Amino acid sequence: MKILILNGPNLNMTGVRKKNVYGAQTLDDINAELKAYGEEKGASMSFFQSNHEGDIIDIIHKSKDDFDG
């Protein structure tokens, strides 16, 4: 199974800004945990992050036949 994880605006700042509110884990840390979990379950994970909604829509359209979820 192939899964595409989409992360939207400002999630690249996770672990960088307001650590007391959002925690110290970075988006890369979170993605690494998700990738490991997916591998345990037999799924491959791909990740995409953009601060631009149009880029996210474009990747959804381009990826519709390449991923299962």
- What is the predicted pLDDT for the residue at 7? 97
| CATH of the structural domain 2-63, one choice from 3.40.50.9100, 3.20.20.80, 3.30.300.130, 3.40.120.10 | 3.40.50.9100
Rounded-to-10 torsion of CA 40, 44, 48, 49: 0
Q: Which candidate, 13, 22, 5, 9, places its Cα nearest to that of 68?
A: 5
Q: Give residue limits of the domains in the chain.
A: 2-63
> What's the whole-model pTM score?
0.87
Q: Are 50 and 10 in contact (CB under 8 A)?
A: no
- What is the predicted pLDDT for the residue at 38? 98
Token pair for 23: 């925690």
Consecutive 10-residue runs of the chain (69 residues): their mean pLDDT?
A: 97 91 94 98 98 98 95
Cα-only R_g, the chain: 13
